Amino acid sequence: MAIKSRSIKIDVEPVDGRPRDYDFTVHVTYQKDGGDKMKAEITGLATCPEEGKIGNIRYNKDYFLFGDILRGK
């Protein structure tokens, strides 16, 4: 099964009072084997201990949706 990404947009916002943390939302439009286009949002928190470096990424409840998209489910 092939998955084709049609568009990816990432929104990043700093977390108030936590200068190393950033909330993010990934907006993905994808298509499986010529089927209908589907949309998904994956959200989470990225911690950046140094400028330009990501120390940790934590996905919110939709982490499994992200894995399913990557695996073509």
E-state strands within 33-71: 37-47, 56-59
pLDDT reported for residue 53: 94
Question: Within 13 Å and on the Cβ side, how many CA atoms surround 8?
Answer: 7
Averaged confidence pLDDT in the chain: 83
pLDDT of residue 5: 67
Residue spans of alpha helices (H) in 1-71? 63-71
Predicted TM-score (pTM) of this structure: 0.73
pLDDT at 6 over 80: no
**For position 46, what pLDDT does the model report?**
96
Query: pLDDT of 12-40, one tens digit each?
Result: 999 999 999 999 998 988 877 777 888 88
